[in-house]
Homo-oligomer: A and B are copies of this chain.
Amino acid sequence: MLVGKVVGSVVATRKNERLIGAKFMIVEPMDNMAQKGRIIAVDNVGAGIGEIVLVAMGSAARIGCDMEVAPVDAAIVGIVDNSIGLMD
């Protein structure tokens, strides 16, 4: 997983029907993460712009968030409210 900041959102009116109702958030990973650059993640926890979040990628996003047959490869699965060593 990665930790990043929600910096925006994307709307797609024309889309795969299994994505209806999904909120697509733009997440900017923290600078020291392995993932360099933004990803689009479906919100699973009610995250808002500016919040620091935990993102799961790959099949974990679908299977772990009850979207097993949706074309989703990343999901926001937690709001980070405390950390040790995150910014070092």
Given that A10-B86, A33-B39, A37-B32 are known contacts, is A71 also in contact with B81, CB under 8 Å in the complex?
no
The residue from B7, B12, B57, B64 contacting A78, defined by CB atoms under 8 A apart: B12
Chain A contact residues (Cβ within 8 angstroms of B): what range? 35 or more
Within the complex, the shortest CB–CB distance from A16 to chain B, in Å, comes to: 4
Flag A6-50 by CB within 8 Å of B: 1 or 0 each.
Answer: 011111111110110000101001101111111111101110010
Copies of the polypeptide in the assembly: 5
A9 in contact with B71 (CB, 8 Å): no
8 A Cβ contacts from A68-88 to B:
68-75, 77-86, 88
Within the complex, the shortest CB–CB distance from A1 to chain B, in Å, comes to: 4
B41 in contact with A34 (CB, 8 Å): no
Within the complex, the shortest CB–CB distance from A28 to chain B, in Å, comes to: 8
